[in-house]
């Protein structure tokens, strides 16, 4: 969720028609105001209101911090997202390295296999995992039929199932950001090190991994934020026993009809995501500073 670096286009013919420029912006601004800014404002307002009487109150916030369930949900969300971020980055790295370096004709196939599933939608993939992991699903069925286990292993409706499902959903994004980063590393560095007798392992350890840290960080960040805000996968694979903030928000809106409390949970989720993005931005700036310092020393 980074913002675009607005590299000024190589000196466009600066047109004086400023007013028409703003006019052209108007539809986008209007749409985003009505269907994004105002709703967000309403939601923040609702979080300070009693759902029944609409009178101002801080009770929703108090409840969030004191009922034990909400903080547990927040904690589960964080743990789940961290695990997903790590799994995605670890699993995605070899594939990303291959995609960045290979010139083989298989590359296109690997690329398609790695990224095409993203286009298939979350339901299809989550449904696939449901069939595989369910108590009476593929794996348990097979193990029971083979006589290896007597009762099904607890593979679904828990943290494990949700992490597996979400890792699968998020993996293509992790692979993309890692690939881009590894592509940016000069392959000559690796070649030079190898010619100087470095083993493959030490090339990986001392050159590739350190230089791809920015890609690793961005993969971790993207995965974390995508996992924390996912709804369908935790709902289907986590069930009643593994509820995260997203599923709890849904329940507050569509079952208990407590909008004020739903708003507080939504804000908590939002703050967690913004905090993570902020860490990412700070990392980027610090890195940028260090680099410019180094360049300053060199000159």
Partner 1 sequence: MNRVLTCLFWLAIALVLTFITLPLAVVVAASLSPSSAVTFLPWEWTTVWYGNLLADRWLQPFLLSVKIATVVAGISGVLGVLAAYAVVYERLPGSTAIMAGLLSPLSVPQIVKGVAIVLFLSIIGLQGVLGTPALIAAHVVLALPFVTRMAATSLANFDGNLDRAAQSLGATKRQRLQHIVLPMIKPGVLSGVTFAFIISFNNIPLSVFLVRPGDTTLPIAVINYLEYSLDPVMAAVNVASMIFILTVIFLFEKVGGFSAQLHGGSK
Partner 2 sequence: MNVNRYLPLCLTLMLSGAPGLAFAETLVVNSYGGPYEAIIEERIIKPFEEKSGIDVVYDAVGSASQDYAKIKATRGQPGFDVVVMTASQSLQGCKDGLLEKLDVTAVPNLGKLVPSLAAVAGPCGAVHEVQYMSLLYRTDKLASPPTSWSSLLDPELKGRIILPTFQNIMAVFLMEIMSVTRGGDMIDNVDPGFSAMAELARQSIGFEQSSAILESYIKDGTVWAMPFWNGRAQLLVDQGVPVDYVRPKEGTVPLIATLNVPVGATNKQAATAFIDFFLEKSSQEAWVTGYKVGSARTDIDIPDDIRKRQITTQADLESLKLPDLSRIADKLGEWGERWERDVVSQAN
Residues that bind partner 2 (CB under 8 A): 67-69, 135-136, 151-152, 154, 157, 239-241, 243, 251, 253-258
Q: Which residues pair with 56 in a beta bridge?
A: 49
Of residues 123 through 142, those in contact with partner 1 by CB under 8 A are: 123-125, 127-132, 134, 136-138, 141
Termini Cα distance of the chain: 35
Lay out the site mask for partner 1 across 139-178 (x = CB under 8 A, - = otherwise).
--x--------------------------x--xx---x--
Q: State the Cα–Cα distance between residues 41 and 18, nearest whole angstrom.
A: 30
Yes or no: say if 17 and 241 are a contact pair by the CB < 8 Å rule: no
Sign of the CA dihedral with 61 first, then 67, 73, and 79 last: positive
Residue with smaller CB distance to partner 1, 196 or 254: 254
Closest CA to 235 of 85, 106, 78, 77: 77
Q: Within positions 242 to 281, which residues make up the interface with partner 1, using CB under 8 A?
A: 246, 249-250, 253-254, 259, 262-263, 266-267, 269-270, 273-274, 277
Residue 141, binding choice from partner 2, partner 1, none, Cβ under 5 to 8 Å by partner class: partner 1
Residues ≥6 apart with Cβ < 8 Å to 229? 246, 269, 273
Q: Which is nearer to partner 2, 148 or 254 (CB)?
A: 254
Q: Do 158 and 241 form a contact (C-beta atoms < 8 A)?
A: yes
Cα–chain center distance at 263: 22
Rounded to the nearest whole angstrom, what is the least distance from the CB of residue 208 to partner 2 in the complex? Answer: 41
Helix residue ranges per DSSP H, 134-208: 138-145, 159-183, 187-195, 200-203
Using CB under 8 A as the binding rule, whether residue 57 contacts partner 1 is answered as no
Check if the beta carbon of residue 222 is closer than 8 Å to that of residue 118. Answer: no
Least separation in angstroms between residue 36's CB and partner 2 is 20
Residues 176-235 that bind partner 1 (CB under 8 A): 176, 179-180, 183, 199-201, 225, 228-232, 235
Query: Of the listed pieces 113-121, 152-160, 215-223, 288-296, which binds partner 1 according to CB under 8 A?
Result: 113-121
If one asks whether residue 95 binds partner 1 (CB under 8 A), the answer comes out as: yes
Nearer to partner 2, 36 or 256 (CB): 256
- Selection from partner 2, partner 1, none that 241 binds (CB < 5 to 8 A by kind) is partner 2
Check: CB of residue 262 under 8 Å from CB of residue 194. no
């Amino acid at each position: 969720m980074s913002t675009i670096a607005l590299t000024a286009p190589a000196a466009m013919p600066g047109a004086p028609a400023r007013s028409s420029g703003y006019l052209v912006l108007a539809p986008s601004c209007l749409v985003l105001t009505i269907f994004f800014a105002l709703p967000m404002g309403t939601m923040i307002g609702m979080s300070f209101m009693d759902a029944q009487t609409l009178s101002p109150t801080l009770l929703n916030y108090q409840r969030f911090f004191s009922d034990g369930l909400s903080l547990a949900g927040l904690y589960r969300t964080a743990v789940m997202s961290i695990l997903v971020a790590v799994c995605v980055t670890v699993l995605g790295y070899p594939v990303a390295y291959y995609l960045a370096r290979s010139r083989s004709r298989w590359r296109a196939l690997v690329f398609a296999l790695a990224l095409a599933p993203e286009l298939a939608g979350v339901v299809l993939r989550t449904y696939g995992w449901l069939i595989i992991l369910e108590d009476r699903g593929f794996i348990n069925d097979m193990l029971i039929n083979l006589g290896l286990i007597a009762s099904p292993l607890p593979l679904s409706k828990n943290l494990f199932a949700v992490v597996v499902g979400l890792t699968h959903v998020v993996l293509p994004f992790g692979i993309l950001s890692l690939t881009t980063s590894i592509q940016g590393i000069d392959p000559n560095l690796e070649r030079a090190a190898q010619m100087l007798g470095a083993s493959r392992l030490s090339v990986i350890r001392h050159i590739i991994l350190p230089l791809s840290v920015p890609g690793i960080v961005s993969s971790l960040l993207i995965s974390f934020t995508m996992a924390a805000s996912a709804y369908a996968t935790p709902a289907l694979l986590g069930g009643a026993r593994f509820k995260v903030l997203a599923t709890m928000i849904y329940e507050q809106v569509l079952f208990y009809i407590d909008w004020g409390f739903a708003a507080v949970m939504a804000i908590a989720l939002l703050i967690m995501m913004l905090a993570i993005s902020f860490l990412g931005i700070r990392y980027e700036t610090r890195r940028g500073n260090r680099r410019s310092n180094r360049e300053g020393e060199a000159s």
